[in-house]
Chains A and B, each alone.
Chain A
Amino acid sequence: MAIKFQRVPSAQPSVAFAARALAIVLALGVAGLVLAARGNAPVELAWEVLSSTFGSSFGLEDVGLLVTPLILTGLSVWVALRIGAWNIGAEGQFYAGAFSATAVALFIPGPTWLILPVMFTAGALGGLLWILVPTLARAYADVSELITTLLLNFVATLMVYYVATGPWLDPSGHALATTARLPHDVPEFWGIVHYGFPLAILLTFVIAGLLNYTRWGYEVRIAGSNPSAALYAGMPFRRRLIVILLMSGAIAGIAGMLEVAGTVHRLQGGISNNFGYLGIMVAVLARGSSLGVLAGAALMGVILNSGIILQTQGITVSAVLAITGLILFFTAIGNELAHYRITRTEPAAS
């Protein structure tokens, strides 16, 4: 009897899931080994992280606060991937959304019940405008949206840094490099976790519903898995692509609006906390599943929170980024290996 590895065109979901789980465990294992080599005690650190995350309501609230933007940036990247496009610019759209929402809050007077929805709309529009040029360039000139969306991240970062240190600097003089505290807050519903959290989950279900149960969503999914088949069937690929990418930008913009209005309350450089890049990780972990976006965001939230807890141990946000990269690398390899099937064949009689 001989054992053969055979590659099949689409991976079995259960195998793909196991491969991703293994990738995460392996990456965390490698991170633990590096920590051990640097003289830390990985098991004790892991215990400290787990007990302070899940041991108290405060720990869970911290994670909840981080999961909110991660769901949305993850959803943003995930939506674009449905049609086969890479929105690597969720980071920039996040900044643009936070920027627009802050502009509304600082310069338009009015009661909170009126201004919050305006801020929300402004955030979504900011994200949408930020992806407009890459979208049109991809749709009409076939310029890779991956690179253009990414380059705009740097522009958005600089723009927010500029207004937070220059024209919109807190006039009270107490704060450096940040705007004044915004007069309107997204209300909290559980400890420090604001209503953005349930809103993000709701938005995920709405978009999953659109993609799974409407003709429009069907056409998007077909266009994503086989563009030429979609064109041959007469589906308007370009129009679907434009709408999906603009939607993707708007979702990331909403994430930025909720972060500035619900969590940070001031616009400042570095407000995005790499949420845009971590969103890529969330979308990749989720693969085709919308529930996977929520699960992926929860996982990345716990990992990001662990990094914050371990800051006192000399572990930085950069280390979390490196570990995320390691998980992504192993996941990519796991995704590919999940395509292989082991078959046993009887040797031919000779």
Chain B
Amino acid sequence: MDMIAGLIQTSILAGGVLALAALGETLSERAGVVNLGVEGLMALGAITGIAVVVATPHPMLGFVLALAVGFLVGCVFALGTVVVKANQVLCGLALTLMGTGMAATIGRAYSGMPAPATFAPIAIPYLSDIPLLGRAIFTQNILVYLIYIVLPVVLHYIMFRTRHGLNMRAVGENPAAADAAGISVQSIRFWYVAAGSALAAGAGAYLTLAFVPSWSEGVVAGRGWIAVSLVIFAGYRPLNAVLAALLFGLITSLGFVGQARNWPIAAPILSMLPYLGTIALIIVPVLAWQRMRRVMAAPAALGEPYFRDMR
């Protein structure tokens, strides 16, 4: 029982990184822009977070500044992909290379240093006293509640229950029709890409301030790409994305449990689990449920720049 409770606690903690990044990517992709720079944004957020807590003992400040860095870098990315309308795949890969490279260069001074201040777990009164799993689920840091409950519900409400959300999804599905209806395709895409990038960088700060919690080169380790895959798996829906992140977190923490319990499998092999699991999770459902393809399909205009005068 202890092992299962520990597994769930770690899964929630590990899934939080993926959930936050995936929520950001969902925003961007629903507006029609693929942001493949998540990996780089997370690296930038991770180093921002650690640099701030080394200077001041306030993890929340580190998290907020990481969001700000992500937002600014996201604006540059949106300038390339939305305003100039350059190839989204290329710009995304460029952002990943730039972010990873820059973070590693800046981060040499912080390498291996544990975060001096972190987001500590908070036990929610009464709920955390529930026998069996209460402690595992309700003794988490504050960001976990934000990422798993507040943010997805708010985003779901905005995207699926408001006029503005309808406009935003229309821009991702059929920008020409949205444009004809008087919606500004460019501004919706620009701001959602920037907001999504901010969340991705926030996920990086979560990584170094709440999960790992220290900086080392390659600390992001492909989580940005797993988050991008997770959005596909979740069918571009924020509530699904969070549940999927939990599942992916479970796969990650299986590796941790294996290492802690001295399973007779080498650590590098256990570390392969999240990547292999992700590949399986994006291939198998498509093969198993052909009918689900239409329901979970990507926004129709995903990845395509919109030119008003081209028909």
Contacts and interface: CB of A to CB of B under 8 A. Distances in A.
Contact of B98 (A141, A144, A161, A326): A326
Interface string B272-311: 1001101100110011000000000000000000010110
Interface in A24-62: none
Interface of A: 7, 86, 88, 133, 137, 141-144, 146-148, 150-155, 158-159, 161-162, 165-166, 277, 280, 284, 316, 318-326, 328-329, 331-333, 335-337
A318 B84 CA distance: 28
B185 to A, nearest CB: 16
Contacts, number: 127
Interface SS, A side = helix
A88 B282 contact: no
A143 B278 contact: no
Is the interface on chain B under 10, 10 to 19, 20 to 34, or 35 or more residues?
Answer: 35 or more
Contacts of A165: 268
Contact of A158 (B90, B91, B272): B272
B101 A321 contact: yes
Nearest to B40: A325
Interface in B111-151: none
Contact of B90 (A7, A320, A326, A332): A332
Interface string B80-124: 100011110111011111111110110010000000000000000
- In the complex, the 6 A-B pairs of residues with the closest C-beta atoms, listed nearest first: A322-B101, A325-B97, A325-B98, A321-B101, A318-B104, A328-B94
A137 B283 contact: yes
B221 interface: yes
Contacts of A319: 101, 105
A325 B279 contact: no
A324 to B, nearest CB: 5
A324 B97 contact: yes
B266 A162 contact: yes
Contacts of B84: 333, 336-337
A320 B108 CA distance: 15
B98 A322 contact: yes
Given A141-B283, A162-B266, 4 more contacts: A142-B286, A322-B101, A322-B105, A329-B80
Contact of B275 (A155, A316, A320, A322): A155
A237 B238 CA distance: 35
A325 B96 contact: yes
Interface SS, B side = helix
B174 interface: no
B229 A151 contact: yes
Contact of A321 (B36, B104, B310): B104
Nearest to A153: B222
Contacts of A328: 90, 93-94, 97
Contacts of A147: 225, 228-229, 232, 282
B225 A150 contact: yes
A269 B137 CA distance: 38
Interface in B205-225: 217, 221-222, 225
A147 B87 CA distance: 17
B226 interface: yes
A322 B104 CA distance: 9
Contacts of A158: 268-269, 271-272
B226 A7 contact: no
A148 B283 contact: yes
Which interface residue of B96, B97, B229 has the most chain A CB atoms within 10 A?
A: B97
Contact of B87 (A166, A322, A323, A332): A332
B268 A333 contact: no
A331 B86 CA distance: 9
A175 B285 CA distance: 45
B80 A161 contact: no
B298 to A, nearest CB: 9
Contacts of B279: 133, 148, 151-152
A186 B219 CA distance: 36
B80 A333 contact: yes
A316 B268 contact: no
Given A137-B283, A142-B286, A148-B279, A316 B87 contact: no
A148 B89 CA distance: 15
Nearest to A274: B97
Nearest to A281: B97
A152 B275 CA distance: 7
A137 B269 CA distance: 23
Given A143-B282, A332-B87, A333-B84, A322 B276 contact: no
A339 to B, nearest CB: 9
A235 B87 CA distance: 27
Contacts of B95: 325, 329
B87 A148 contact: no
Which interface residue of B93, B108, B271 has the most chain A CB atoms within 10 A?
A: B93
Contact of A144 (B101, B232, B276): B232
A158 B86 CA distance: 34
Contacts of B98: 322, 325-326, 329
A177 to B, nearest CB: 12
Contacts of B217: 318
27 contacts: A7-B309, A133-B279, A142-B286, A143-B286, A144-B232, A152-B275, A154-B275, A155-B275, A158-B272, A162-B269, A280-B93, A318-B104, A318-B105, A318-B217, A322-B97, A322-B105, A325-B93, A325-B94, A325-B95, A325-B96, A326-B98, A328-B90, A329-B91, A329-B95, A331-B90, A332-B86, A332-B94
A154 B221 contact: yes
B2 to A, nearest CB: 29
